Chains A and B, each alone.
Chain A
């Protein structure tokens, strides 16, 4: 099973700042990595798939990069609605599909 480790567990930033979230895989997932945003009481929302492709309707301030075992989600300039929990997910070697434990992005 591929384990995804996200860091940091929590990140405290102000609107307008840049956010950098990390996801590290226990073995290569090629580029088969997705990122999701989840707000309280809501289902997750797909942001990025295959490491760097923005999903439909996702603002350009969200970008993904990386391949192999190290991946990054960057939010270039935080908007108030971006404060949420972010999860990564791999599909390279499944089953099982695995998710990271999440990074909580909080308002400073």
Chain B
């Protein structure tokens, strides 16, 4: 079964940094754009960032622009999200997701299990 596995979450103080990773198993994710979506406790889904298949184009939500950096290593089948200057409102479960249906960002049919980021002093 195709799987995405996030890692790197944890407890961090306001102003701190974390680096999340998303690894793919049993498939190659190089043909696909990949997206980070987060969900604050008890809340809805919020798009965070997306990266094109080649890695040449990146996109960010206004709430994270300038603080988060998305990158990918297709040779290793790994996606990363470097998160700096973290704030309490960044607290959420972070999911990586892939749209294998439209090869874009419109039909996320493959999701990881999520990794929890808690920003608190």
Contacts and interface: CB of A to CB of B under 8 A. Distances in A.
Contact of A91 (B61, B106, B112): B106
A63 B112 CA distance: 25
Counting contact residues on chain A (CB < 8 A from B), the size range is: 20 to 34
A96 B109 CA distance: 19
A58 to B, nearest CB: 10
Contact of B61 (A89, A96, A100, A102): A96
B26 to A, nearest CB: 16
B47 A102 contact: no
A50 B107 contact: yes
B40 to A, nearest CB: 12
Interface residues of B, number: 24
A87 to B, nearest CB: 6
B106 A99 contact: no
A49 B106 CA distance: 7
Q: Which of B60, B61, B95, B112 has the most CB of A within 10 A?
A: B61
Interface of A: 32, 34, 36, 38, 43-46, 49-50, 55-56, 87, 89, 91, 94-102
